[in-house]
């Protein structure tokens, strides 16, 4: 009893601290700071961190361009001294950038503004800002300077623009969450990865319990068409690709989840495999190789770089905060002399991983210099790690100008992205909440029983005020969700101290909602959205029969976030579910978060009503036509 009281007291203390932190964050936002202004929760001072995510050298090697997501700018540094030359403001949450073939222009994908900034590298001024697709995440120009290719994360495609005017010419379908584009060394092909698993057409009804599938979309740049889709079986999240200079070896960084196996423990890579896919003439068919070891993991491989002499591959691993070094000759010898598959073999990496170099918090993009340096952008540390590739030793850490204090939000975000708190450092929050969002997967968590209560992962955006958490509503607040529950059933290792938990909770509560791409400027609704809204709000069906209050969309999905914060039985209980009483999920950016329902059994919003609502328990919808359901979807997309 005494212990229970102490436990409650601890939760109450953390909740109180969270409230204080959140209040201070609220002050910062209220003062109208920039979208990514941060706050030191202990003083209320607004802080803006640089948060570097990508780094590039100018063609002559004299300048360094650093893409800073937090401060929304490109920082230009002297490549020798790292002295600042100029900071160039770009759009919100820039995620990717690249130089034109002639080096005269720098293109920046502004993911929250849906624009590309075109920077003149001679004047270091933004020469143009072009509207593009939804959540542009990387941008590459073809060798001839005719076309620009932009990966759009939300519209799951690659937009092809006229490189001189920015006019969009066509769209090419890519993987879900298309994000990173890498050209082949000769520029004839572009390789596009995506951060969410591909949608699966409904065939067996068990799509939510089959392995995720991803792809590398290969684009023929001359014809601007998709030339090939390299399938990545069992891969859910793809990140950077790199090529050897001879073009014979391609390497893609990726995450291989174990979401179909009950998550009972973490040892022996129980939750994720951190892997690379190798492709190209050197390997023949694509090969997946693991980076993890038996007791040491290379969590969330993100950036990849291959030395000019093809002797080494460098991989930045976000969660482990390291750069993994691979000996290419040993790697190729291994895959040519050992029969695969290798992804499940935790002793495989001993054959080719030759070093693991500690770098800063959340290492992301990397670039190699001509003189043998590897630069790594440490997003949550505002530093660049400089690694001497001859010795594979960290030779220097270059701080970027910015706040020196570690704010509540910053510390919380570092905690969210690191894997250090889990058993053997295997996973972090960001493993399942990619870039603080979701993962498009369903998981089988151990406490509910093996094979029981399969749960869809939910979006974290703007979740303040949507408690309780978990699909069964079993967790009353974030300190419980992120504290004891995470410690016991996810990390399988001791958790954070109270201050760290507080900072993490404040960060999670502050994760903003991405701009809604379906809302018109001024938040007017289209006619279809208006019709959908009327259906959402209706109190009687098409036949004039009143709809009981509890069976109206607007009753359960009430309020600005679309949740009444109560649990209901909407008739979706499966034989493997322990309860049919389910928490009402928020509707924030619901259009992005497929699959749907508590167990991810509905691949689309429409399936919620056409497949899983035969008795109208999940709202009165069986009187609606296909067109009306489309209207309803149009409205939901604005939430």
Partner 1 sequence: MRDGARAVWVAVCAALLLPVCGFAPDPAQSVGADFIVTAAPTYEPLAALRGQERFKKGAQLLLVHEGQAEPLVPGFAATADANVSFSAKKVLFAGKQAAGDAWQVWELTLKDHSVRKLTTGAADAIRPLYLPGGRMVYAQRTPFGFQLESARIDDRAATLAMEPAGTPAVLALTYMQASALPADVLADGRILFEAGFPLGSGATPELYLVYADGSGVESYRCDHGHARWGGRQLASGDVVFTHGASLARFTSPLAHEERVAAPHAEYVGAIAETAQGEWLVSARTAASAAYAVKLWNPGAPAMEAVLAESGENLVEPVLLAPRTWPHRHPSGLHPWDYANMLALDARLSRDGDLKGVPAQVRLEMEDAQGHAVAMGMAPVEKDGSFFVKVPGDKPIRFALLDAKGAVLRHEMGWFWIRSGEQRICVGCHTGPEHASENRVPAVLLRTTTPADLSVTGKAPQRSTGGN
- Give the residues lining the site for partner 1 (CB under 8 A): 2-4, 6-7, 10, 209, 211, 234, 256-262, 264-265, 267-270, 273, 290, 292-296, 343-347, 349-350, 353, 423-424, 444, 446-447, 449-452, 484, 487-489, 491-495, 576
- Rounded to whole angstroms, how far apart are CA atoms 288 and 340? 9
For the CB of residue 200, give the shortest distance to partner 1 in the complex, in Å: 15
For the CB of residue 57, give the shortest distance to partner 1 in the complex, in Å: 33
For the CB of residue 557, give the shortest distance to partner 1 in the complex, in Å: 30
Q: Are 318 and 430 in contact (CB under 8 A)?
A: yes
For the CB of residue 346, give the shortest distance to partner 1 in the complex, in Å: 4
Exposed, middle or buried, 606 (CB in 10 Å: 0-12/13-18/19+)? middle
**DSSP strand pairing (136-141 vs 322-327):** unpaired
Pick between residue 350 and residue 540 the one whose CB is nearest to partner 1: 350
Pick between residue 243 and residue 471 the one whose CB is nearest to partner 1: 471
Length of the chain: 639
Pick between residue 87 and residue 349 the one whose CB is nearest to partner 1: 349
For the CB of residue 261, give the shortest distance to partner 1 in the complex, in Å: 5
- Rounded to whole angstroms, how far apart are CA atoms 386 and 496? 30
- Residue 13: CB partners within 8 Å, gap ≥ 6? 498
Pick between residue 292 and residue 607 the one whose CB is nearest to partner 1: 292
**Which residue in 473, 479, 476, 446 sits closest to 458, CA to CA?**
473
Pick between residue 120 and residue 293 the one whose CB is nearest to partner 1: 293
Pick between residue 346 and residue 463 the one whose CB is nearest to partner 1: 346
User: How many degrees, rounded to 5, is the angle at CA 295 between CA 291 and CA 300?
Assistant: 40
For the CB of residue 553, give the shortest distance to partner 1 in the complex, in Å: 32
For the CB of residue 88, give the shortest distance to partner 1 in the complex, in Å: 43
- Rounded to whole angstroms, how far apart are CA atoms 34 and 55? 23
Cβ-based neighbour number of residue 189 at 10 Å? 19
Pick between residue 175 and residue 262 the one whose CB is nearest to partner 1: 262
Report residue 277: phi and psi, to 5°.
-105, 130
Pick between residue 29 and residue 493 the one whose CB is nearest to partner 1: 493
**What stretch of H or E contains 107?**
strand 105-110
For the CB of residue 330, give the shortest distance to partner 1 in the complex, in Å: 12
Pick between residue 235 and residue 602 the one whose CB is nearest to partner 1: 235
- Residue 248: CB partners within 8 Å, gap ≥ 6? 280, 281, 282
Pick between residue 497 and residue 615 the one whose CB is nearest to partner 1: 497
**What stretch of H or E contains 329?**
helix 328-337
Could you tell me the CA-to-CA distances from 39 to 23, 45, 388, 460, 501 in Å, in that order?
11, 6, 35, 20, 17
User: How many degrees, rounded to 5, is the angle at CA 359 between CA 357 and CA 361?
Assistant: 140
Pick between residue 267 and residue 569 the one whose CB is nearest to partner 1: 267
**What stretch of H or E contains 473?**
none
b/e code 357-387 from CB counts within 10 Å (16+ = b): bebbbbbbbbbbeeeebbbbbbbbbbbbbbb
Q: What is the 3-state secondary structure (H, E, C) of 522-557?
A: HHCCCHHHHHHHHHHHCCECCCCCECCHHHCHHHHC
Pick between residue 281 and residue 350 the one whose CB is nearest to partner 1: 350
Pick between residue 27 and residue 354 the one whose CB is nearest to partner 1: 354
- Residue 285: CB partners within 8 Å, gap ≥ 6? none
Pick between residue 23 and residue 350 the one whose CB is nearest to partner 1: 350
- The SS3 assignment for 414 reads helix
Q: Are 384 and 397 in contact (CB under 8 A)?
A: yes
For the CB of residue 49, give the shortest distance to partner 1 in the complex, in Å: 29
For the CB of residue 136, give the shortest distance to partner 1 in the complex, in Å: 31
For the CB of residue 493, give the shortest distance to partner 1 in the complex, in Å: 4
For the CB of residue 7, give the shortest distance to partner 1 in the complex, in Å: 6
**Which residue in 63, 77, 71, 76 sits closest to 90, CA to CA?**
71
For the CB of residue 495, give the shortest distance to partner 1 in the complex, in Å: 7
Cβ-based neighbour number of residue 308 at 10 Å? 12
For the CB of residue 67, give the shortest distance to partner 1 in the complex, in Å: 33
- Rounded to whole angstroms, how far apart are CA atoms 501 and 495? 8
**What stretch of H or E contains 396?**
strand 393-399
Exposed, middle or buried, 309 (CB in 10 Å: 0-12/13-18/19+)? exposed
């Amino acid at each position: 009893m005494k212990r229970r009281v102490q436990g409650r007291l601890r939760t109450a203390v953390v909740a109180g601290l969270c409230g204080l932190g959140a209040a201070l964050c609220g002050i910062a936002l209220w003062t109208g700071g920039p979208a990514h202004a941060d706050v030191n929760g202990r003083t209320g001072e607004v802080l803006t961190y640089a948060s570097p995510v990508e780094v590039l050298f100018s063609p002559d090697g004299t300048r360094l361009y650093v893409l800073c997501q937090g401060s929304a700018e490109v920082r230009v540094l002297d490549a020798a001294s790292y002295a600042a030359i100029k900071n160039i403001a770009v759009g919100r949450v820039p995620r990717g950038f690249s130089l034109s073939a002639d080096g005269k222009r720098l293109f920046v994908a502004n993911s929250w503004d849906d624009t590309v900034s075109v920077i003149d590298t001679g004047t270091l001024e933004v020469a143009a800002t072009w509207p593009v697709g939804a959540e542009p995440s990387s941008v590459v120009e073809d060798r001839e300077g005719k076309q620009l290719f932009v990966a759009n994360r939300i519209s799951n495609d690659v937009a092809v623009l006229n490189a001189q005017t920015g006019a969009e010419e066509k769209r090419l379908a890519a993987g879900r969450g298309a994000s990173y584009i890498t050209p082949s060394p000769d520029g004839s092909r572009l390789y596009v990865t995506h951060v969410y698993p591909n949608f699966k057409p409904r065939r067996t009804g068990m799509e939510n319990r089959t392995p995720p599938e991803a792809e590398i979309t290969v684009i023929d740049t001359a014809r601007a068409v998709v030339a090939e889709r390299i399938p990545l079986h069992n891969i859910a999240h793809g990140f950077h690709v790199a090529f050897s200079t001879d073009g014979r070896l391609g390497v893609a960084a990726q995450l291989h989840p174990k979401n179909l196996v009950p998550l009972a423990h973490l040892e022996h890579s129980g939750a994720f495999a951190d892997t690379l896919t190798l492709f190209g003439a050197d390997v023949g068919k694509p090969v997946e190789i693991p980076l993890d070891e038996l007791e040491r993991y290379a969590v969330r491989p993100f950036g990849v770089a291959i030395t000019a002499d093809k002797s080494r591959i460098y991989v930045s691993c976000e969660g482990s905060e390291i750069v993994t070094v691979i000996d290419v000759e040993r790697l190729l010898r291994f895959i040519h002399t050992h029969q695969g598959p290798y992804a499940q073999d935790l002793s495989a990496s001993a054959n080719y991983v030759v070093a693991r170099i500690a770098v800063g918090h959340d290492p992301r993009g990397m670039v190699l210099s001509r003189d043998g340096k590897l630069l790594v952008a440490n997003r949550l540390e505002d530093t660049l790690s400089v690694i001497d590739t001859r010795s594979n030793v960290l030779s220097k850490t270059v701080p970027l100008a910015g706040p020196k204090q570690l704010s509540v939000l910053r510390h919380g975000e570092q905690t969210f992205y690191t894997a250090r708190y889990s058993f053997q450092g295997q996973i972090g929050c960001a493993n399942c909440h990619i870039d603080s969002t979701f993962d498009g997967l369903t998981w089988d968590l151990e406490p509910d029983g093996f094979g029981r209560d399969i749960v869809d992962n939910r979006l974290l955006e703007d979740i303040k005020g949507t408690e309780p958490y978990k699909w069964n509503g079993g967790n009353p607040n974030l300190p419980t969700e992120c504290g004891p529950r995470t410690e016991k059933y996810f990390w399988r290792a001791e958790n954070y101290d109270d201050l760290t938990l507080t900072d993490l909770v404040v960060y999670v509560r502050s994760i903003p909602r991405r701009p809604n791409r379906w809302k018109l400027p001024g938040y007017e609704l289209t006619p279809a959205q208006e019709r959908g809204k009327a259906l959402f709000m209706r109190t009687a069906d098409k036949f004039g029969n009143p709809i009981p209050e509890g069976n109206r969309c607007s009753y359960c999905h009430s309020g600005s976030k679309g949740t009444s914060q109560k649990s209901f039985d909407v008739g979706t209980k499966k034989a493997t579910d322990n309860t049919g009483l389910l928490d009402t999920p928020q509707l924030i950016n619901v259009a992005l978060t497929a699959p749907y329902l508590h167990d991810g059994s509905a691949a689309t919003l429409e399936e919620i009503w056409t497949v899983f609502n035969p008795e109208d328990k999940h709202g009165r919808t069986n009187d609606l036509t296909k067109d009306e359901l489309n209207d309803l979807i149009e409205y939901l997309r604005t939430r």
